[in-house]
Structure 1
C-alpha cells in the first residue's frame, strides 16, 4: 500500500532519484554505523563519513581491514581507505572503492569545528 502520494514507490524512479541527487544531499547517504564503543560514548548510531575517519570493513573481499578514509567520492557514492589497494597489470597500486554501508566507524575525525558541532548537537560529548 502506498503511504505517501507525493513520492513514487517505483524502483525505477527511486534509482533515478539517487542518480540525479545533488551532492549536498548525497553526503547524508554516505553514512556508516558507529562501533558499539563509539555508540555508547556519543549516543547515536551512524554519521556521514569524512576524510580522516577510521573505519573497519565488515563485508566483502576486504573484510577485517582497518584504516583511515583517504577520499569520499560523492559522485560514485564510494569511499577509499588508505591500505585497501589492488595491483594493476603495470604494477602500480590503486585504491579500491568501497560502499559506505559495508564499513563501521571505529574512530571519528574531530579536527573540524563543524564536525564537532554536529556531534555535540546530536547529543555527544566531545572531549
Structure 2
C-alpha cells in the first residue's frame, strides 16, 4: 500500500469492484493479487476471483473476505474516483498563505 500512498497521497480508499487486492490475513493468505468480483457493503464482505471453495457436488462457491484482511494493490480509476482522490489530496496540501496579514495592512 505504500506505493499507493506515495502515488495518490491517501491512506485509505473504499474498495470497489475491479480493484486488485492481496489477502494478507486468514487461511486463504496469498502472495498474489486478484480482482474484486463483488462487494457486499451490508455484510462487510468482498469476493475475489481466486477465493473459491469446492462443494461436495463439485461446483465452486466464492468465499467472502472481510475488507480489513486485504490490501489494495491497484485501483480501478474512473471519473468519480479520480475526483475523490483529487479532493483528498487537496486537503493534505500545506497551507500556502500562512501569514495572510502584511505589515502595510496592520499599519493602516
When the two structures are superposed, what TM-score results if normalisation uses the length of structure 2?
A: 0.78
- Long gaps (5+) in structure 1: 1-34
Per the alignment, residue 89 of structure 1 pairs with 56
How many angstroms apart in 2 are the aligned matches of 1:85 and 1:59?
16
2:2 corresponds to: 36
Deviations 1:2-40 (A, max 9, x none): xxxxxxxxxxxxxxxxxxxxxxxxxxxxxxxxx111111
Taking structure 1 as the reference length, what is the TM-score of the superposition? 0.67
Larger radius of gyration: 2
Distance in 1 between residues matched to 2:61 and 2:33, nearest whole Å: 17
CA deviations 1:28-83 (Å, max 9, x no partner) are xxxxxxx1111111111110000000001000011124200000011211000011
Task: Give 1:61-100 correspondences, 5 Å limit.
Answer: 61-64=27-30, 65-100=32-67
d(CA) in 1 for partners of 2:82, 2:63: 29
Structure 2 gaps, min length 5: 91-108
**Which stretches of structure 1, 4 residues or more, deviate above 4 A after TM superposition?**
none
C-alpha deviation, 1:113, in angstroms: 1.2
